[in-house]
Amino acid sequence: MADVAVLSSDVSNALHQVAGLRKGPVFISDLVGYYFYNHSVGRFRYTKTTDGGATWATGVDVATDAANSDAAAPCIWYDKWTKGDTGTLIHCAFLDPTTTPDSLVYVRLDTNGDVREAKAVIDNAGWVAGGSHADTNYVSITKARSGRLMIVANPVAGTGLAYTSDDGGDTWTSRADPFEAGDIDIIELHPGGEADQDDIWAIYNDRSALEITLKAYDASGDSWSEGAAIHTNTNQQTFYLNHSSTTRWSDNHIILVSHTHYDNASDTLNVYDITDKDDFTAKTSVLENPNSSEAVRVDIMIDQVDDSLYVCWVQGGVWGATVDVFYKKSSDGGDSWDAAVQYSEDAADDHRLVNIGHSIGDYTSIMQIIWFNDDTDDIMTNVNNQLSVDRIGRPFLQPGVQWLDQDTTDQYVQVYMVDRDDRTLAKTGIAASNVTFNLFKNGASAYAPPTGATWTEISRGLYRVTLGPTDLDTPGETLLSVVSFGDNTAETVVTLQVAPAAHTPFSDTGELQQVAYAGADEGVFIELLAADGTPYTGLSVAPTLQLLKNGASTWAAINDGAWVEAGFGVYKVTLDETDKNTLGPMVLRAAPVAGSGLLLETGDFILQETGEKLLQEASSALTREAHAWVAVGVNREEERAEYVRVRTMHTELI
């Protein structure tokens, strides 16, 4: 796929390509992402993707009253860019030169429903913003590990602003600002690394001294302190930002990348690992002479899961005419870098701004670069070269085989979702918007998405997927892959058998307990385990017994439910004709209750890969919930007058 336009004819050339620090992209899952930009008439807008960055929607004003404002030097901060934060807000700050007098403005976007609000004026003390470019004013915003927000702005030389909010942006308090007299300096705010989680750090580009330092804000004393020079700019360009930084959660260090020169063959793209304002280490440079000619702009992103670093820049060719977009990856904190990869595919053009996204965590695996084409005034990307880092790990292979009819009406598949790293934990509350489905049909060579799968949560990590006739048009074994995105991305793979409607249901599975449709009472077996994994014996009082019949979305009470211990933790449950009145796969649930000898408490549970059973454990030491798979169809014992039904009497824990 060639380079594609994220947005066309909706972008301010002068404002977007040079103004502002962080604009995204902000991916909140592998499907949903946001990118922020300056509208052609100056307003601050965002565009959204719901298909992993393949397409982007028409821009929307961030503020509900944005029609009466412009955004100079905008900057954003996503809640989850702060270590330990689980919020859903994207915080935005910018200067509004259309108000009288000019204003420092804050507005937030809630990604949970895309809730917008009116802008809040933080400061309008009568200064006049010097313009919209990097050499005339700058704004930065961050969120400390305590949850405190801070905004700093340098609207004109000699005027510095700093404000904090401890209530999520509802109210703001003026603080000491870090700026120095003279040129308008550039600051990138980050959560501080000190023990006081209210503290803030700032990468400080002193443009009169041509050096970059770290300034630390002490919240308890409302004061700033500065360390020694970290980086020296030999011929800094005042129009374009040529450094970028991000925070590494694993040790609270800041990783800084910065050019030494602007559009110069002597340029080196340096990398620094910053422990604090007085302790920093130069790492291996991303670019060095003679491979740095015509290299300009830079942005950095960190994958917080494994600390991998991604750095992107533009390089020619001729800067300002024919450059391409490149990136490199480091898997060892900047000690070494992989070979440069060209991200843009079309002919070299006048690309200026590049953005890569600052930080990603467990909630997404997307690394997508977005850039601005000065010739066309388009914001561009390339999906073909987009990276999706491994978040899934080994899939959970769900026990058993579920049989479905070929080419009939909608049918249902029961799916268990478990934690990627700890299979003893269930994943509950997964929304349909955070799930992707793929089918590997019999004879296929790759997974392909179903035509219209739907998602329903049953309970405690058990979900129902609805598949349509076109999804079930190929007889034979089919694999259903369900990937959930969120704080812990995980995959479950379910084995299906698609067969003509006239097939004998479940006659060859051998893995499910089989009972006849309706008819006389029959027994099925279920195993209970104690919290330590040993058989739970001597349970004379039946726990709560429920059935999830084929097509149902909720548990229903069992009709018969006679309860007899067979031995060694295995119990026999009697099903009558009412319990067996629905053909297809069914789940029997034994849920411990008070009075049964087991106490059900709130907590996580365990899914054991034990062949035919899925076992659950809550937080109590003696709390296990058991599930047994039952096939309602033809009972081969009755049909053939021989004992062939497969039952697992006990499965040892691994």
Contact 169, 106 (CB under 8 A): yes
Residues 206 and 180 sit within 8 Å (Cβ to Cβ): yes
Residue 348 phi/psi, 5-degree rounding, is -55, 140
With helix as H, strand as E and coil as C, how does 312-366 read? EEEEEEECCCEEEEEEEEECCCCCCCCCCEECCCCCCECEEEEECCCEECCCCCE
Q: Is 4 left (phi over 0), alpha (psi -120 to 50) or beta?
A: beta
Q: Which of 377, 395, 502, 380 is closest to 440 using CA atoms?
A: 395
- Please state, in angstroms and rounded to a whole number, the distance separating the CA atoms of residues 395 and 399: 12
- Do residues 216 and 194 make contact, with C-beta atoms less than 8 angstroms apart? yes
What kind and span of H or E run contains 637? helix 636-640
Integer Cα distance of 48 and 66 in angstroms: 18
Question: What DSSP string runs through 438-503?
Answer: EEE-TT-SS-B--SS-EEEEEETTEEEEEE-GGGG-S-EEEEEEEEE-SSS-EEEEEEEEEE-TTS
Do 1 and 222 form a contact (C-beta atoms < 8 A)?
no
Domains of the chain, CATH where assigned: 4-388 (2.120.10.10), 396-499 (2.60.40.10), 513-640 (2.60.40)
What is the DSSP pairing of strand 295-303 with strand 359-360? parallel
Burial tier of 3 (Cβ tally within 10 Å: 0-12, 13-18, 19+): buried
Edge-to-edge strand list for the sheet holding 279-282: 243-248, 253-259, 269-276, 279-282
**From the CB of residue 465, how many other CB atoms can be counted at a distance below 10 Å?**
21
592: cis peptide before it, omega within 30°? no
Provide the β-strand partners of residue 301.
Answer: 310
User: What is the Cα–Cα distance from 392 to 459, expressed in whole angstroms?
Assistant: 22
Cβ–Cβ contacts within 10 Å for residue 194, how many?
Answer: 17
| C-beta neighbour count of 640 within 10 angstroms | 10
Q: 432-448: b or e for each residue (b if 16 or more CB lie within 10 Å)? A: eebbbbbbbbeeeeeee
Q: Measure the CA–CA gap between 350 and 269, rounded to whole angstroms.
A: 20
Read off the tokens for 364.
């997404």
3-state secondary structure of 66: helix
For residues 283 and 274, the answer to whether their CB atoms sit within 8 Å is no
The set of residues, in sequence order, having a beta carbon less than 8 Å from that of 151 and lying 6+ positions away, is: 93, 104, 106, 122, 139, 140, 141, 161, 162, 163, 164, 172
Residues pairing with 269 in the sheet: 259, 287
- Nearest residue to 627 via CA among 574, 592, 571, 587: 587
- The region that residue 320 occupies, defined by phi over 0 for left and psi between -120 and 50 for alpha, beta otherwise, is left
CA 25 to centroid of chain Cα atoms? 12
DSSP for 104-137, written as a single string: EEEEEEETTTTB-B--EEEE-SS-----SSTTT-
Q: Are 608 and 653 in contact (CB under 8 A)?
A: yes
DSSP string covering 128-161, please? ----SSTTT--EEEEE-TTS-EEEEEEEETTEEE
Burial of 44 (0-12, 13-18, 19+ CB in 10 A): buried
Residue 226 contacts residue 214 (beta carbons within 8 Å): yes
d(CA 424, CA 589): 18
Question: Half-sphere exposure of residue 516, counting CA atoms within 13 Å on the CB side?
Answer: 13
Biggest distance spanned by C-alpha atoms of the chain = 96
How far, in Å, CA of 92 to CA of 21, rounded? 11
Give the per-residue pLDDT at 236. 63
Q: Which of 575, 517, 585 is nearest to 550 (CA)?
A: 585
- Torsion, Cα 107 108 109 110, to 10 degrees, reads -150
Please tell me the distance from the alpha carbon of residue 108 to that of residue 106, in angstroms, as a whole number. Answer: 7
Residue 644 has what pLDDT?
A: 33
CB 170 within 8 A of CB 179: no
Q: Tell me if 569 sits within 8 A of 527, measured CB to CB.
A: yes
Q: Alpha carbon 300 to chain centroid distance?
A: 18
Pairing of strands 513-516, 624-633: parallel
Give every residue of the chain whose pLDDT is below 70, as ranges: 1, 12-20, 66-69, 99-100, 126-136, 182-183, 234-239, 290-292, 390, 392-393, 424, 486-488, 501-512, 531-533, 592-624, 634-654
